[in-house]
Amino acid sequence: MNGSGAAAPRRHPGLKLPASLVAGTLLTATMLTATMLTATMLTATALTATGAAGVAAADSRLGATAYARHLLARLQLPAGSRRMRWKQVAGLWPSLEAILTDVVDKRALFHVPERMTALSTYLQAHAPAGMTVTSWGSYSNRNGITAETVTFSPRHLPAGIFSAILVTTFKPARHGASLLRADAQVAWFPPRGGAVRIRASDYKAVAVTRSRASGHDRHTKVVTGARQVARLVAMYNRLHGAPDVVTTCPELGPNTIVYMLSFRPAQAGTAAVVLSPTNCQDVGVTIGGKPEPGLYPASTVNAAASRAWRLTADWNG
């Protein structure tokens, strides 16, 4: 299979929800090799605050559904292609089989007057406006290739949208034509739930704990400067709710540096907030010792913690 590759996807269990859709994964089985959703596409697609023209940008199913329809309408197919009444066609399976809370899938079926190989070449040369080809590949069995697939992703995402891809899967039809299934799959950022935003004035310090993933070399520095505490509070307040999506979680070596941030209250009655970034890009959150739904992205928390660790001596002056 050509295109990008990544580790096998999995569903993240429990309250700690992962935060990446999977695109371009190499799925190997006895009967097929397929392109699916992968984290590779997501890291390559920049999140911007500018929504696409005419598309509702919101952290809701409504906004994600509108954007999915917008992407599906941009698909370019050869002349003479026609949209068919939707039905499930054997051999054209959905790229996202799991039932995920924060993902919508708008789909369509087309009859295309081109052979499968020619159609793959056409699609790779005609990415929809504002999108790029992120992966391509094929399904096969012992008799040869049975279907092919090309996946596109937007160059920019509307505000409130976590990730989006447009997946096409196609196979031979009668008289040298092809049947093509298109899926616009969009995930959005859910509400933060119990991970409520906080005020910098309610916190006197932030403890930055640094250790190895093995648990060794654990040390803590404390940030006490008002402006620096406010900066870390603002970082926490900007985090998104972590969507329920398929993710890949790279393994951490025993010497990998990990961080934890603990926001210390200035007075009794204010709950302490603890952030624990994970290798799945979600951030574990506890408020007053109570676990809350995860936030996203862990990379933002790690970067802020790393900077605070380096500059703590200056900040505490």
Which residues share a beta bridge with 139? 147
* pLDDT reading at 192 higher than 80: yes
Once rounded to an integer, what is the mean pLDDT over residues 174-193? 94
Once rounded to an integer, what is the mean pLDDT over residues 292-307? 96
d(CA 129, CA 76): 9
Tokens of 52: 């696409």
* Residue 198, pLDDT score: 96
CATH of the domain spanning 200-315: 3.30.1490
* Residue 311, pLDDT score: 87
Quote the mean pLDDT of the chain: 81
How does pLDDT run across 197-252, given as a tens digit for each residue?
A: 999 999 999 999 999 999 899 999 999 999 999 999 999 999 999 998 877 788 88
Q: At 272, is the pLDDT very low, low, confident or very high (cuts 50, 70, 90)?
A: very high
* Residue 32, pLDDT score: 32
How does pLDDT run across 84-140, given as a tens digit for each residue?
A: 999 999 999 766 655 578 899 999 999 999 999 999 999 999 999 999 999 999 988
* pLDDT more than 70, % of the chain: 78
Instruction: Report domain extents, the chain.
Output: 10-188, 200-315
Strands 33-34 and 203-212: unpaired
d(CA 67, CA 184): 9
Tokens of 229: 């505490």
Q: Are 59 and 243 in contact (CB under 8 A)?
A: no
Q: At 59, is the pLDDT very low, low, confident or very high (cuts 50, 70, 90)?
A: low
* Residue 314, pLDDT score: 53
How does pLDDT run across 15-52, given as a tens digit for each residue?
A: 232 233 333 333 322 233 333 333 323 322 333 323 33
Lowest mean pLDDT: which of 45-54, 75-84, 176-185? 45-54
d(CA 309, CA 220): 9
- The full 3-state SS of 188-220, as one line of letters, equals ECCCCCCCCCCCHHHEEEEEEEEEECCCCCCEE
* Residue 273, pLDDT score: 98
* Residue 74, pLDDT score: 97
